[in-house]
Amino acid sequence: MRVTQSMLSNNFLKHLSNNYDKMGKIQEQMNTQKKITRPSDDPVVAMKGVAYRTNLTEVQQFKRNFTEAHNWLDNTDAALDQAKKALERIRQLTVQASNGTLEENQRASIAEEVKQLKSQIADIANTQVGDKYIFNGTDTLNPPTSVDANGNIVVKTPSNNNPVKLELANGVYIQVNSVNSDTNGIFNQELFDSMDKLITNLEADDQDALKQDLNNLDTHINNLVNERATVGARSNRIELMEDRIDQQEISVTKMMSKNEDADMEKVITDLITQEAVQRASLGVGARIIQPTLLDFLR
């Protein structure tokens, strides 16, 4: 086959264009610091990148859930601590009133303080995180306690008394609130009814009944202590899970970087090599293309 000047010129231009295309891709890698800029550059790297990014997005969502979980549990623990202090103050006043040496106006003062502390406990039961009530199961938009027409505190039965749970790992849901309105709850109706009885017994100076009131207070205080211990155990577990998620985030980010990020030392070396190839290609092309009339006229 006869090789013509036209064939040499076309081959030269084709190879020159390919060299420029390679240099363009290397330049893109330098600018973006990524191995690929489009899936067609390397489908395997692109597919792995999608998987890693999906995993990273999932981990980052879990981290946001951890922030929400800490918020709920910290507020729950603080509320339980305040309620415990209020009940301990009521118990202290009850012990003081049960010695039988107080005058009538002193017992009335104690009864009045107990009323105020009862209202304070009701306010604690209505603690909110943002706009959500944390002691009312999943019925978080409605307060668990209210005051009726007679001034009595009423614990409502929530429409859904299931615990609030957050997903903190794949398929792992942790309870972040304390359900209170069932019979074993911490802010149940029995608690407020027992305080109403205590107030009545204080006003009547019923010493025998006050002793039973002390036993009831001890039961409710123990319930609060036990619930705080449960909340603390959940907090400890969440902290351990959070450490694991942090490690997963670091690991996924590292794998994604290895998969996608360009090795800049290699990219610079490739660029230098390609530039040398390009210069050599131009030099060869200048030699094999026949001179034109203008070249002879020089």
Global pTM reads: 0.75
Is the confidence at residue 133, as pLDDT, over 80?
A: yes
Domains parsed from the chain with CATH numbers: 51-255 (1.20.1330.10)
Distance CA 295, CA 13 (A): 20
- Residue 296 is predicted with a pLDDT of 52
Residue type, 133: Y
User: How high does pLDDT run on average in the chain?
Assistant: 83
Distance CA 57, CA 60 (A): 5
pLDDT (tens digit, 9 = 90+) per residue, 173-198?
999 988 765 555 788 889 999 999 99
- Residue 4 is predicted with a pLDDT of 64
Q: What percent of the chain has pLDDT over 70?
A: 85
| Over residues 263-273, mean pLDDT | 75
- Residue 184 is predicted with a pLDDT of 56
- Residue 216 is predicted with a pLDDT of 92
pLDDT: is 269 or 218 the higher one? 218
Distance CA 86, CA 114 (A): 9
